[in-house]
Amino acid sequence: MMPLKTSMSLFNRLRFVLIETSRPGNIGAAARAMKTMGFSELVLVNPRVPNATLHQEAVAFASGAQDVLTAARIVGSIEEALAGCNFAAALSARLREFSPPVIAPRALAMQLAADAGLTAALVFGNERFGLPNGIVEKCNMLINIPANPDYSSLNLAQAVQVLAYECRVASAGDALPITDIGFQGELAGIGQIDGMYAHLEDALAAIDFLDPANPKKLMPRLKRLFSRTQLETEEVNILRGIAKQILQNRKK
């Protein structure tokens, strides 16, 4: 039986984002994987083939999930794809030196299902090149599917299926509850957090803590630090207030 799609349901709070997908067939297969697990929001960032959702290969591989495929949004940037989200997780088989915290699909699904305040996106890279570091750094978590270390390559649609399945199982109530930490404010959106990082970078440069000509890894390290906290809107405002005060004092 299909779980009831209430407004707080993960089925209404989760979107799947595909970045610069090369094969229309993989887009169609991803739509099919999503629909079999009850999810419907698909966003495509700059697919390599024009009108990818109408391509005959995409339609063929969707195999009954044409409604998900037809409703897919095509956007020009990761910022557009994540608009309205306050949580994002990137999928990658390759671990990064300055990545967000790494999490397994099941643990991620449990967290998403347990926290009704999360409006989340799962981000998948190009079949050949994966995800660039800049996109990974915008995400709160890095998903790593525990696969055969001698052959860990998953087809894009297979990866979508694994995540969609785990999220469906967690939403059905099989997940253990996450410990209540008490009062929690509204989680900050991805765009708000990006604005805070830009503001903070300007402030750190103003006090010569960061050299714009040679920033090294300071900002990626700070992004990794804050990604572990799930920043709330008020916390982002506090950090921007600190940055604003620093910049005003430097002008005096």
- Predicted confidence (pLDDT) per residue in 13-56, tens digit: 999 999 999 999 999 999 999 999 999 999 999 999 999 999 99
Banded pLDDT at 67 (limits 50, 70, 90): very high
Q: Return the structure tokens found at 191.
A: 């765009």
The predicted structure's pLDDT at residue 66: 95
What are the domain boundaries of the chain? 10-174, 190-251
φ and ψ at residue 59, rounded to 5 degrees: -65, -40
Chain center to CA of 79: 11
Q: Residue 149 and residue 156: Cα distance in Å, rounded?
A: 18
Q: What is the pLDDT of residue 7?
A: 54
Assess if CATH 3.30.470.20 describes domain 10-174. Answer: no
| Least reliable range by pLDDT among 41-50, 222-231, 238-247 | 222-231
What's the half-sphere exposure (Cβ side, CA atoms, 13 Å) at 38? 19
CA distance 93 to 148: 11
The neighbouring-strand residues paired with 187 are 232
What pLDDT does 250 receive?
A: 80
Q: What's the one-letter identity of residue 67?
A: D
Distance CA 230, CA 189 (A): 10
Q: In sequence order, which ranges of 137-227 are alpha helices (DSSP H)?
A: 156-169, 190-206, 218-227
In CATH, the architecture of 190-251 is: Orthogonal Bundle (1.10)
Q: How many CB atoms lie within 10 A of CB 83?
A: 14
Q: Residue 177: pLDDT above 60?
A: no
Q: Name the burial class of residue 100, with classes exposed (0-12), middle (13-18) and buried (19+) by CB atoms within 10 angstroms of its CB.
A: buried
Q: Are 14 and 112 a contacting pair, CB within 8 Å?
A: yes
Instruction: Give the per-residue pLDDT at 8.
Output: 78
Q: In 32-135, at which residue ranges do the beta strands (DSSP E only) sit?
A: 41-45, 73-75, 87-91, 102-103, 120-124
Q: What torsion do the CA atoms of 238, 78, 120, 67 make, to the nearest 10 degrees?
A: 150
Better-scored residue on pLDDT, 108 or 150? 108
Mean pLDDT of the chain: 88
Q: Give me the pLDDT at residue 2, please.
A: 44
